[in-house]
């Protein structure tokens, strides 16, 4: 089944996620995101440690000056912003793969999003669109870790952790959709999404 621009006959709404409307759920997810941040931070720190055990021992007495600290903070702010853009760009590329149409990118306060408001997308492609940024960034980041310097590893660790914890909304949607009935078409309109069950 392919993505379509109009809902086929017989499809009725059977589920919805809208964090702008459902503030309580958004707060719960933020809490889960924070928990995931801690868990992923520990997991990726452990993986980075495995690759850099020896060089860590050698550079135990590194001192950090004021400018270096400022540079570090700026680089981290840039990492946070860059991570968010790359994450949404990957969503966007996969929207394009399945619809062959340019997706919609938007900004809201401090977060960006990619959506396809003109499209109704079947469950499997939609799950791929939702999972792709977490999967790709994690795989590429972990693959680069063994070859990265200690400094770069620190940023990779931050990037991997932010991306994984920031995927909490994607994980939530994926879990909801896995338990939804078949056949299913998902309409992602940016502020939220509704899914429709067919006959
Ligand atoms: Zn996402």
Q: Are 176 and 17 in contact (CB under 8 A)?
A: yes
Distance CA(81)–CA(110), nearest Å, equals: 9
Residue with tokens 């690759």: 51
Burial of 175 (0-12, 13-18, 19+ CB in 10 A): exposed
Ligand 1 is an ion; its neighbours by CB within 5 Å are: 170
Task: Decide if 114 contacts 92 (C-beta within 8 A).
Answer: yes
What is the Rg, in whole angstroms, of the alpha carbon atoms belonging to the chain?
Answer: 20
Per-residue pLDDT of the chain (199 residues; tens, 9 = 90+): 799 999 999 999 999 999 888 889 989 999 999 999 999 999 999 999 998 887 766 655 556 667 777 888 888 888 888 889 999 999 999 999 999 999 999 887 667 889 999 999 999 999 999 999 999 999 999 999 999 988 888 889 999 999 999 999 999 999 999 999 999 999 999 989 999 999 8
Instruction: Report CA(44)–ligand 1 centroid distance (Å).
Output: 19
Q: Please give the helix or strand (H or E) that residue 193 lies within, else none.
A: strand 193-197
Give the C-alpha separation, 193 to 116, whole Å: 10
Residue 87, C-beta contacts closer than 8 angstroms, at least 6 positions apart: 133, 137, 163, 166, 167
Ligand 1 centre distance from Cα of residue 84 (Å)? 9
d(CA 77, CA 55): 26
Q: How far is the CA of 164 from the centre of ligand 1 (A)?
A: 9
Q: How far is the CA of 109 from the centre of ligand 1 (A)?
A: 16
How far, in Å, from the CA of 59 to the mean position of ligand 1? Answer: 36
Distance CA 87, CA 161 (A): 13
Show me where the domains of the chain are located.
14-54+71-197
């Amino acid at each position: 089944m392919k993505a379509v621009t109009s809902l086929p006959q017989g499809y009725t709404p059977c589920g919805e996620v809208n964090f702008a409307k459902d503030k309580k759920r958004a707060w719960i997810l933020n809490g889960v995101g924070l928990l995931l941040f801690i868990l992923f931070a520990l997991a990726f720190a452990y993986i980075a440690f495995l690759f850099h055990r020896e060089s860590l021992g050698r550079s135990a007495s590194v001192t950090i000056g004021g400018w270096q600290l400022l540079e570090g903070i700026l680089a981290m702010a840039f990492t946070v912003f860059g991570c968010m853009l790359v994450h949404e760009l990957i969503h966007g590329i996969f929207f394009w793969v399945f619809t062959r149409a340019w997706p919609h990118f938007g900004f809201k306060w401090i977060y960006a999003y990619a959506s396809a408001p003109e499209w109704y997308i079947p469950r499997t492609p939609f799950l791929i669109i939702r999972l792709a940024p977490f999967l790709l960034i994690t795989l590429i980041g972990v693959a680069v870790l063994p070859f990265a310097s200690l400094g770069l590893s620190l940023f990779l660790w931050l990037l991997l952790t932010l991306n994984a914890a920031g995927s909490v909304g994607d994980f939530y949607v994926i879990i909801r959709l896995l338990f939804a009935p078949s056949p299913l078409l998902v309409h992602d309109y940016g502020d939220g999404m509704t899914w429709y069950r067919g006959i």
